[in-house]
Structure 1
């Protein structure tokens, strides 16, 4: 066996030996000792869970107190606390020397209102000065910068867009994990997600793995859109919101959209009897009144709402666009109508669109006979008798 010695210096030399890992002696515990050790571990785990539950109880009580003191809902306070906690954890509070130096140099009036060019100018003109700073000067500038940042009022802003991004990214990660779990173990999953508050403009999300994609419709005879709609109503309003089914809510929104469309058409044309006609829209609306609809959303086909869309979220979005005048009626000038008419004729000739007309009778051009009478009653009622109202002369007058 060869031993190795290492020396750090001649003055303080020390022999260092390679240490072999020590093996702990195996201890055989008695039954009573094992029971005591197990009981101690269980007691520690129970105490830990009890402490966590007490902390959550205190957190819930504090949430209710804040909501009552500031006239907010408990759900709103919970959302702010949870989202704000994640934002604060990702915030960086340690000051940076370069930022402090740039702030110091930017205090002069000459460097204000220069936008993005300010940083490039600072690097060109003051880079050597920054590198030549001593430790005392750096500490002084850093202390001034920290004192200045304390005077600024900062707060955490949680926007609706950040919430939607958080939901989308989280659900995407969950979907990836569920697909991976299916590949590894063969498990199938159906996931429904909906909003629980009207403050969040989120459409309901339905996810299912490949093996159970058509399970709800084919086996359970349940429409996913109907299910998530009732789920959303229950989450927002409880049983009152879930009582009204999807078809009724969709019908109400469609009726509201039709009223807005017809009301706008009557206002812009001045005709109190004007009504929207989807089938003959160009001939009976555009050509007749020289008006057209602008701002129609791309994700909803332009046509009768009873046929083109049954999604409640899409219909609510369309109604909101009409209510905010994003989608509205517009008067068409003669030049614009001539151009539209020419483009429509080109589309008709190329077969891109089809001119819908009423189908003619199959016996057009043939003389139609009356059905023959089968009994006396039919004979009496076969021909309608008209009363002669012309004056007649009585026999006495003659």
Structure 2
């Protein structure tokens, strides 16, 4: 044999004997008897001088083979029990290193690996266990007999009650056996939290085999609860510790590539069964692609399909499902995986700012559009016709990086994550502009001069009408008179504006005289490109 099984008895091992194990896999299967001595003879090696081979040892001769590299195990101290000591003192070593999932994400919590401790048992311990097994078997037999007797008596009572009340036996059985088998998940409660905390405190310094049992820990916690030995702060700390422990067991990183591969394979198989069963029950067709997240992972790409749904890629995209899965695996390996980082103020602020900006860019369809918190109404609402609704009431509308407490940052982060605070489009009538500034003399009594100005304007209009009647233009000067009329009207309007602006200095008589003089002046040349017919052109 190239690989031998080391079996040690409780008796001490000679210190000068060093067992040797080759690195090659075994070539044949060998069954060794259970009553072996403390020494195992390897093929091709001579036994120690001070020891003789036991009678029950099994020797197998094999042809001579070329020498191969050997891996040497250091000698075991004589004061230690071989199998039990090796199992209890084994220390976990992650062979994956930086290529494992936990090594690539050092900020994530890691699940502690669990080892099964198996120690050698004496003959008395084996006999005691055999007696306990026989007792359990007898107890189970008595339990079955008792349950059968109860069922028989129950059947007769159900039949009698059915005949007396004229009710079917099925209805009575449903009422008697009406117990659901569906149980909700055990939510964290005070008792479980205290038991978890007490277990960590009582068994932290004890090794495997010496730790307190769950029943003893529960009795200790019940005694403390009856005597009110736990304060509110202690209970809240225990609740938080239990929640953190459950979160680590649910989402903690696997410590090595082997455990990560086993977890991924088991979960993929579970999802495969669920998709297949769902399709058989309801006809819902689904397809799932599983790809490893890193090139050093051991997981193999997997395609889960129902009712040959993988042909969808070939019929629609003209690509084989295997090629799609391969491209998906390449895309996943090139992506940066963002996992949950330690929850603190800075991370909450960064996530809030990212969610706000991402939602603004998506709703406006403008990439890299920055959020303006100071001029939010003008730069965002009025310009892009969008609005951020659902901002928590107790949080000021400022840049998330200006929030100073973790509680407010987490509250805003939760509102943005569950979409209670989100961006929405608004119509044109809903967006209000900037409010006009109020008058400086609001609430004060002001002077009214509108009556005087109206009288002056009326007198100016009467003078203009008199001037137009005195001129009486001929039929050949229609355009000229029209231009003069427009000019006089414009001059009159100008005089009105001048009179209105100088209402505090110019008297009504002076304004009337100025308007009369302006009416007697010759009309100005027209500024338009219109041609004016003269008398000579009309005669010709």
* TM-score when normalising by structure 2: 0.23
> Which structure has the highest helix share of the two?
1
Which structure would you say has the larger Rg?
A: 2
Taking structure 1 as the reference length, what is the TM-score of the superposition? 0.30
Specify which structure has the bigger relative contact order, considering alpha-carbon pairs within 8 angstroms and separated by 6 or more residues: 2
